[in-house]
Structure 1
């Protein structure tokens, strides 16, 4: 498992009974997680009871935060030199997936050790964690997401991290159509990152379904890799898709043409109270 264990301003304090207790800078949040099917030692006392806010699911879908203390509209946390705005949303998320720090460290090392200019394409790029990591390591980055609000959030994270002057291009678009246009334009990338959802819609109603669309999309993306590709990273949070599936996709779409090596596995966060690791998704990495 790839564990993001270098955080100082984020901590997964405890887990149990379908919930997790997390410290995000100066605030402790309590929210559900379907992976946590083991019992909590005591979720009605201590920090559990004193959480700054707790997310409650609604039977009609979505949910809401109940605050014990007044939260600011947003606040920031740091990971090394990277800084991110945190804002609890109506869908229980905070705008950041801290387990991805395990990937940020790997990508930054690859870019710094390349010894040449690297151009990165970040697809389904969300609020820009990977974008900031790659830009801070010296790469030129194209950041693509279909949600205008997420692209704006990414820009604000870049400014917060003092990376606003780096060569980052922000695109609000359907990622599949964007890749097709890059084919026609002849644009090429040394590294591609993608974090596709299980289901999604583009800005004009385009439908995405991972089980149907992931392999042809990865195959299409290989057509815009440079002659000296550095890496290709796929993240997935889709239930029922195993890391071996990502290995097979990367083998067929990349390794048989370019050689290189593939690594796959779960990605997770250490739990302070129990010493366990919470699995948070899977990844597939191809690299030369």
Structure 2
């Protein structure tokens, strides 16, 4: 497991009964998590003394119950990186803190490459990886289909004092963007992707990770440079093993370029129990 244990501004305080108790800076939130199938060891005052509690609805979705006033959005830091946090209607806050383990790895790879690195970040959300790569000196192309998330990513980059770095923000369907890059003959030294379990393209095309991930990764080979640095796949799709990502990368990137693959779970330390909370999986290829 790749545990993101370098945070000061974020903490999983406790877990149990399908929920996690988290600290985001000075704000305490209680949110559902399907991986937490164990009981709360001691549902003490901390579980009740929260700023916000997200309740699942039996009909799908859910809503926030705000118990204390909080800012419309606030800032947390990871090293020199800064991010805006805001509770959204679909339980998320705009950041997946377990990804810090990937940020650190990518920053180290880019810093130690001793050459210019062009990064393509697909399904890029609010830009945690884009900000991390830019801070390490890479040129970044950030692509996401959601206009609001791309704007959030721009604001995160500026918040981190990196607004002058060479980052292009593109609101587009990632599949069509990759096809256009193939036709243009553009190439990247590193590709990051965090594909959804399900999705629909602008013309009604259906994405289902189990059927679509392998051919999409294969199509990305044509936009890798002659000397790629890394290829990272994240997944939060239930039932997909890290070995699946290992196998896909072995049959695509490693078959063409050699190199090394590692795969496993992402995790966050739980302060109260000393255990780790599983938070999705990753597959990494590196030169």
**Which residues of 2 match residues 1-288 of structure 1 at below 5 A?**
1-43=1-43, 45-288=44-287
Once structures 1 and 2 are overlaid, which stretch shifts more, 196-205 or 63-72? Answer: 196-205
Task: Give the deviation of 1:202 after TM superposition.
Answer: 3.3
- SS state of the match for residue 88, structure 1? coil
Deviation at 1:225, TM superposition (A): 0.3
Deviation at 1:9? Answer: 0.3
Residue deviations 1:202-240 (CA, integer Å, cap 9, x gap): 345442111111000000001100001000000000001
Task: Please report how far the alpha carbon of residue 42 of structure 1 lies from its aligned counterpart in structure 2 after TM superposition.
Answer: 2.2
Distance 1:271 1:76 in 2: 22
SS at match of 1:264: strand
Q: Gapped runs of 5+ residues in structure 1?
A: none
In 2, the alpha carbon distance for the partners of 1:204 and 1:273 equals: 48
Q: Quick one: distance in 1 between partners of 2:217 and 2:59?
A: 35
**Partner-residue secondary structure (3-state), 2:223:** coil
Over 4 Å off, 4+ runs: none
Q: State how far apart, in whole Å, the 1-side matches of 2:210 and 2:220 are.
A: 17
Conservation of the 8 A alpha-carbon contact between 1:8 and 1:79: yes
Aligned 8 A contact 1:10 1:22 in 2: yes
Number of aligned pairs?
Answer: 287
